Amino acid sequence: MLIMTAKLPRRKLSLGVAAAALLCCCAIALNFGHTLGREASASALPNPKGVKTNQDRVDYLSAYGWQVESEPITTQELLIPEEMDDSYSEYLALQNGQGFDLQKYAGRRVKRYTYEVLNYPTGETGVQANLLICKNTVIGGEVLSPQLDGFLHGLAMP
């Protein structure tokens, strides 16, 4: 059996303990700050439930920073396919990235409301915002340019 001993002055030992305690406190504070940041950003997103009226839909888009025309350009009833092939993979990934799971609504009828965006950051006109709604709940959405060389992205302001 091998026993080793070390002699440390009391002052150095107390400094070491204080430094270790300070590091622990910093780690806890940083973790707490990250948790608060996640909760604040999650609470900053609009609630997708209870979107019943046109004003609710306009307010929902406004919560993302979009100014849209007060009435939709079009309203369409769509059927989400029972099985989605590979052609849907990018669109499903876009929706999943926003926290929407369209596969939960496979085989269901939904409404798509299309609004004209008035404040796209590049100044481009004709930009549209779509909301997919099933029973007063937003289940998907995107912002797009219908131009030939257009774009498609999530609801968050770029």
Cα 141 from Cα 39, distance rounded (Å): 22
Percentage of the chain beyond pLDDT 70 is 72
Cα 62 from Cα 39, distance rounded (Å): 20
pTM equals: 0.70
pLDDT digits 0-9 by tens, 37-88: 444 444 467 788 889 999 999 999 999 999 999 999 999 999 999 988 888 8
Asked if pLDDT for residue 119 goes beyond 80, the answer is yes
Asked if pLDDT for residue 26 goes beyond 70, the answer is no
pLDDT of res. 49: 87
CA angle, 82 as apex, 110 and 78 as ends, to 5°? Answer: 25
User: Where exactly are the structural domains of the chain?
Assistant: 10-44, 54-153
